[in-house]
């Protein structure tokens, strides 16, 4: 039976291999095999998050940007610059989502970190403050 490893250790291994070697397909097959054998397939989503986190630590960031209106080129570039400046990342890719429910402003979600300046969140925080 496979030894039980923490998700953090698995994620660190995967991130290291992904950045150092070329053969991602083989690596993912190994990890999938391990998850099946150790009956931990239910942890796939969490493991992916951990891998994203570890990759971010190594300078590879996938950021999810949510806005009420589509991003223009200038704003997209300044968002990438901001992320690079705040995280010292070398490679940044953006997943853009338009969601009217945020009302205005922008939410940048990085692995393990977030910058939420949406109007909706500000209003929620105000609601909490005044409930207390």
Partner 1 sequence: MSDLSITELSNDLRAAVEKLERRDGLEEVGVVVRVGDGVAWIHGLRKAGYSEMLEIESPHGSVDAFALNLLEDEIGAVLLGSDKNVIAGATVRRKGTVLEVPVGPELLGRVIDPLGRPLDGGEPIKTKQTGIVEREAIGVMGRKSVHEPLMTGIVAIDAMFPIGRGQRELIIGDRQTGKTALAIDTMINQARQKTGVVNVYVAIGQKLSKVARLVERLKQEGVMDQTIIVATSPSDPASLLYLAPYAATTMGEYFRDNSQHALMIYDDLTKHAVAYRQMSLLLRRPPGREAYPGDVFYLHSRLLERSAKLSDELGGGSLTALPIIETQAGDISAYIPTNVISITDGQIFLETDLFYQGIRPAISAGLSVSRVGGAAQTKAVKSVSGNLKLGLSQFRELASFAQFGSDLDESTKSLIDRGQRLTELLKQPQYQPLSIWQQVASISAVSTGAFDEVPPSRVKDAQAALLSKLTSDHADEMKQLDSGDKPDEKTTALIEKTARATAKGFKEAL
Applying CB under 8 A, the residues found at the interface with partner 1 are: 6-8, 46, 49-50, 53, 86-87, 108-110, 112-116, 121-122, 124-132
Nearer to partner 1, 6 or 22 (CB): 6
d(CA 11, CA 129): 38
DSSP conformation letters of 21-75: -S-HHHHHHHHHHHHHHTT-GGGHHHHHHHHHHHHHHTTEEEEEEEESSPPPHHH
Tokens of 91: 């490679």
Nearer to partner 1, 7 or 58 (CB): 7
Nearer to partner 1, 91 or 124 (CB): 124
Q: Could you tell me the smallest distance in angstroms from the CB atom of residue 53 to partner 1?
A: 7
Q: Could you tell me the smallest distance in angstroms from the CB atom of residue 32 to partner 1?
A: 19
């Amino acid at each position: 039976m496979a030894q039980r490893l923490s998700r953090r250790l698995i994620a660190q291994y995967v991130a290291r291999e992904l950045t150092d070697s070329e053969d991602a397909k083989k690596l993912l097959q190994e990890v999938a095999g391990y998850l099946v054998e150790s009956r931990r397939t239910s942890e796939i989503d969490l493991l992916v998050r951990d891998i994203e986190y570890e990759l971010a630590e190594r300078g590879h960031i996938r950021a999810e940007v949510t806005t009420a209106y589509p991003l223009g080129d200038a704003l997209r570039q300044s968002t990438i610059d901001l992320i690079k400046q705040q995280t010292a990342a070398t490679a940044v890719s953006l997943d853009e989502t338009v969601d009217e429910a945020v009302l205005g402003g922008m939410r940048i979600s990085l692995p393990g970190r977030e910058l939420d300046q949406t109007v909706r969140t500000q209003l929620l925080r105000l609601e909490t403050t005044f409930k207390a």
